[in-house]
Chains A and B, each alone.
Chain A
Amino acid sequence: MFYKKSFIFLLLITPLQFSWAEWSGSVSLEYRHFTEEPLYPNQHDGANSSIAFQPEYNHSWNNGRQLFSFIPYVREDENDEERSQADIRELSWLTASENWELRLGIRKVFWGVTESQHLVDIINQSDLAANIDGEDKFGQPMINLALIGDYGTLDLFVLPYFRERSFPGEEGRLRGLYPDVTRDAIYQSDDEEKHIDYAARWSKSIDVWDIGLSYFNGTSRDPIINPLMDGPPIFVPYYALIQQLGLDLQATVDSWLWKLEYINRDSDFESYNAATLGLEYTWFGNAESPSDLGLVLEYLYDDRGDSAATPFENDIFLGLRVALNDTQSTDALIGFIKDLDKDTTIYSIEASRRVGESWKLSLEARIYESNDATDANLYAIRDDDYVQMELSYYF
């Protein structure tokens, strides 16, 4: 009897067996240098250091059909207290069957195909304090059921809790128009951050095409920022209820990638369309000269024009991607986003190289050229050019 009980108990805890081999992750030391004097009082000048720790635990069993993942994240920043934070990027369990997958917990989901901006991608909130490019995301609590068959994949989402966007703090650079964004957000929904959002996405690969059609109904991840009416210059994020229809499409033909992302967003305050149209061509390497060289061209459009919350309403992105395909996996993406109506351009360099077996050195530099106050978002960070070196250790 005792043995039988122990056996059942052992069976139950087997999935949770602890093993060091299932831990991995990284520690990153980041050094940023701002080349110009700050535009606002209290903002730090010159150099800024930051350290981030992101361990990761994955346990997979039943031939990979079940998976438990845990990814905590901690950052400590020298100057900006909004950048110093602890978060759970992922804490989830999933189970996969022949015709469906159920994924529960805090997760990250990416939708889309383009490089310069991610219009369709809406599930996770951006951690703008960590990086202004919006590619750092907070973990999103969710119930996600995926139905899988010859018709493709139909993902259904229930999102029971909302995460607020982070912004650089008062001492931080790259904080743009808003010197101090309060954490006391205002919501259109009376349920505030407990409003339940819903989303669905159908996706399928047909021959050279990869298609995704998505729908979102809930609290917008992009706040409208309003000044507090009286008192100090404090800004309050307002999160409206929205509906969004999205389409992402890629055709992969020979060395060409043709891309389209399109959204239609509707709320009580505005209704608009936005799109990114892109193409990418790559010259691939071979045994004699292994490097790949790629050209990326994207057009960014938003029909709100100057009143758009984004600076990318009629812009082009031109980028050059180089992958040396060497032992150190050296690669770089150099490019710029230029406004076609105004005198504003963002130049960007991202490059990285492995050092030894477990280290990686990354370089990031951005230059904001803006002489036009009507492109307000960029005009407000025109003096925040920076060069960043990051050294990461992976275990």
Chain B
Amino acid sequence: MTKRIFILLLSTLIWNTALAQTPEEKGLAIAVEADKRDTGWKDSSSEMFMTLRNSQGQESKRRMRTKALEVIGDGDKSLTIFDQPRDVKGTAFLSFTHSKKPDDQWLYLPALKRVKRISSANKSGPFMGSEFAYEDISSQEVDKYTYKYLRDEKLEGKDCFVIERKPTYEYSGYTRMVSWVDKNMYQARKVEFYDRKNSLIKTLSMSKFKQYKGKFWRALQMDMMNHQTKKSTTLEWKDYKFQSGLKSRDFDKNALKRLR
């Protein structure tokens, strides 16, 4: 018995020394690997369908189209245009995420034909009245968090790393997030969000994963549950397209004004 424990301790020691990896380093390594595997998609476009549910189960629908441009060495650019509800049809949102400085964001208001630069300190604010905050749907850059590997765990029969992330950017609504990262895809299957008081506020579940261009995994459905308000939001993606030749000119203020 004693011998067995000794061998176990010894092997753990060797394992740790060999890799010389702290939980923080391992967490970061997982994030870097996930980022590496998702590099090279160039650009994407898709349709987004959003279903908002209140605590009584009443539903409200949103429909939008979104385009994204990969920027190597900085955060990605994205453009979202609303089709539904009809009163906000034509409203468009342009975002340049940055890994080291605050993001740049512009909003186009079609009735006034006005482009407004808006503060990116709205990270914790709800996107379109949904349970998704702006920071939940913006591009997830490695530099925006610190990481800590917690454990290995199976989630719905799939092997996952469980890692903790803490936002390093200002104005986050969270103290930390715990993610279940699929070991095969290097994509999160579940994320738990802890609010500023460090209590669990939301859980995000990803499903309907599909691989594009033989490389890039995307969840075609995300369900966000708010445990405090009992409201939930489902986001579904359709018609995903990759590498259709979009350029940075398709993501400027002029492009924002001509989107319909």
Contact = CB atoms under 8 A, between A and B. Distances in A.
Nearest to A69: B260
Contacts of A203: 253
A146 interface: yes
A110 B125 contact: no
A354 B253 contact: no
Contact of A96 (B85, B86, B115, B254): B254
B54 A286 contact: no
Nearest to A203: B253
Contacts of A96: 249, 254-255, 258
Contact of A205 (B85, B117, B119, B129): B117
A58 interface: yes
Interface residues of A, number: 50
A290 B126 contact: yes
Interface stretch (B20-28, B139-147, B177-185, B195-203): B195-203
A286 B254 contact: no
B129 A58 contact: no
B119 A286 contact: no
B252 interface: yes
Interface in A87-102: 94, 96, 98, 101
B200 to A, nearest CB: 11
Contacts, number: 134
A78 interface: no
B122 A292 contact: yes
B86 A286 contact: no
Contacts of A109: 113
Given A96-B249, A287-B226, 8 more contacts: A60-B258, A98-B247, A252-B117, A284-B171, A287-B228, A290-B129, A360-B87, A395-B86
28 contacts: A24-B90, A26-B86, A64-B250, A64-B255, A94-B258, A96-B254, A101-B254, A146-B254, A148-B249, A148-B254, A153-B253, A254-B102, A254-B170, A255-B121, A255-B171, A284-B171, A287-B133, A287-B173, A290-B126, A325-B129, A326-B129, A328-B129, A354-B85, A354-B87, A358-B85, A358-B86, A358-B87, A394-B85
Interface of A: 24, 26, 58, 60, 63-64, 67, 69, 94, 96, 98, 101, 108-110, 112-113, 135, 146, 148, 153, 203, 205, 210, 250, 252, 254-257, 282, 284-288, 290, 292, 325-329, 354, 357-358, 360, 392, 394-395
